Every structure is written in C-alpha cells, then in structure tokens.
C-alpha cells in the first residue's frame, strides 16, 4: 500500500475542521488562513479541506437538505444543496447516522436563521453510509495499523490479514471469524478512507477535488466496493 497523502488522516483538524473553525470566514474569506488573495484580488484556497457531519435529521424535499452535528458535538448545522441537480442523486443516502462530507465549505446564514453550508456544486458533496465514529476508527486503522492480532484481548502477532481491508491482522482464522461482527462495518469504511488517503490535502494546485463526475452519474466514494462486501465472507484471512 502506498503512503497516505499528507493531511489525509481524519484526525487532522486543519484538513477536517469543525463548524466553529469555519464559521467566521464564511462571511470574511480573506480573514482565514485557508485562503489567499488570487491574481485578480479574489480569494483562492491555500489548501484542500473537508467538513464532516453526522446526519441528525433529513429535511430533503425539492433539494437535498439535512441537519448534521460535527465531531465536537455541535448540532443543528444545516446543509443544503443549491446546484442544478439539487443533490438528489444522494437522496437515498440521506439517513440519520450517515455522514455528510462537504469540500471547501463556507459557513452560511440561511434566510430562516439557520446556520450551516449552502452547497452550490454538488460534485463537492457526498454522503457516506457510516457514522462519524466508524469513519474516525477506520481512518485510525488505515493510518496507524497494528502488527498484533485485532481480536479483543489477544496480543499475539498478526500473521494473517483481513482480505477486505488488508489492514486488520489476526493470529488465526478463528480469531478473525470471531472478530468479523465487530470489524465488518470498519472494513467497509476503510474503502471510503482510501479516497481521502490518496490525496495530498496540504497543497493547492488550482484543481479542486470532487466526489463525483456528473457525466458518470455516480459517487465513487459511496458506491460499489464501499457498499458491496459480498466477496468478503467472515473468516476470510490470508497470510501476509
């Protein structure tokens, strides 16, 4: 596995800030060190960043709209998609407990007094079918893998790897089978973490990241191998 990109660990609060860290510069972009002055006096990003919030309530009607809480526990953060497609390709994933990811968000005060993010480019918005904790745990496993058996209470060397994520290790197939119920959701979540880990978040090269291409009609972060675990039965482990 190649080295993860810089700033890609979800524990990096600069790359993955909370709402309060973003609140002020929504109104004053130039006041934030996320931004710099561009060649024509316009604010341009200094780096890449992404907000993560766990859905508390789905308020979708004619456009994707959800209320989320951030990783500090601040709730009632309103996220609404105002792009031409209104974010409706994500409607089925807009469920309580799933996590919204917004690239390059700016805080916004809506007409009804709610605060949050008005997303005007739906390619910079996705919903991951995992809780914030599941994603944080998966990121920790991805960036800080252990060489010991992952089964609770076992400290033996892990000579076998989970065939799904290739990160969790086990001393035996029996321990992997025993641990599968606990590891299954984490195994799926590491597939989403790979998308973040393939990128260097610390440098802006003029090309924004996107979660999906409208021409492809799908979201590469939350479709396919992230959701489909049929080929990975519990107990499947291979020697390193």
How many whole angstroms from its chain centre is CA 186? 13
Q: What is the pLDDT of residue 214?
A: 61
Residues 108/95, Cβ–Cβ less than 8 Å: no
Residue 166, both tokens: 């290739």
DSSP string computed for 29-79: GGGSTTEEE-TTS-EEESS--EEEEEEEEE--SSS-EEEEE-TT----EEE
Q: What is the pLDDT of residue 32?
A: 65
Q: Which residues pair with 127 in a beta bridge?
A: 100
* φ, ψ of residue 78 in degrees (nearest 5): -90, 125
Q: What is the pLDDT of residue 168?
A: 94
In CATH, the architecture of 19-130 is Beta Barrel (2.40)
Q: What is the pLDDT of residue 1?
A: 54
DSSP label of 90: G
d(CA 165, CA 216): 26
Q: What is the pLDDT of residue 220?
A: 46
> Which residues of 110-225 form beta strands (DSSP E)?
115-119, 125-128, 160-162, 169-170
Mean pLDDT (10-residue bins), the chain, 240 residues: 87 93 60 76 88 96 94 95 86 95 91 91 93 96 92 91 92 93 90 93 92 60 40 43
d(CA 6, CA 200): 5
Q: Domain residue spans in the chain?
A: 19-130, 133-206+217-227
CA-closest candidate to residue 90, choices 116, 60, 67, 118: 60
Residues 20/209, Cβ–Cβ less than 8 Å: no
Q: What is the pLDDT of residue 29?
A: 47
């Amino acid at each position: 596995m190649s080295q993860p990109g810089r700033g890609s660990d979800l524990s990096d609060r600069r790359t993955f800030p909370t709402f309060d860290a973003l609140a002020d510069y929504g109104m004053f972009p130039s006041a934030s060190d996320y931004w710099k002055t561009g060649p024509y006096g316009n604010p341009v990003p200094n780096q890449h960043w992404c907000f993560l919030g766990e859905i508390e309530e789905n308020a979708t009607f004619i456009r994707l709209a959800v209320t989320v809480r951030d990783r500090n526990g601040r709730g009632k953060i309103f996220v609404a998609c105002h792009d031409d497609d209104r974010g409706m390709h994500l409607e089925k994933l807009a469920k309580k407990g799933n996590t919204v990811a917004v690239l390059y968000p700016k805080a916004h005060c809506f007409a009804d007094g709610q605060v949050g993010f008005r997303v005007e480019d739906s390619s910079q918005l996705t919903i991951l079918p995992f809780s914030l904790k599941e994603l944080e745990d998966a990121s920790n496993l991805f960036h800080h893998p252990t060489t010991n058996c992952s089964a609770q209470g076992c400290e033996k060397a892990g000579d076998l790897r989970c065939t799904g994520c290739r990160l969790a290790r086990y001393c035996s197939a029996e321990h992997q089978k025993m641990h599968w119920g606990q590891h299954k959701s984490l195994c799926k979540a590491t597939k989403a973490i790979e998308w973040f880990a393939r990128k260097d978040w610390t440098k802006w090269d003029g090309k924004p990241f996107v979660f999906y291409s409208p021409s492809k009609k799908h979201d590469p972060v939350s479709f396919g191998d992230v959701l489909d675990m049929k080929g990975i039965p519990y107990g499947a482990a291979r020697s390193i």
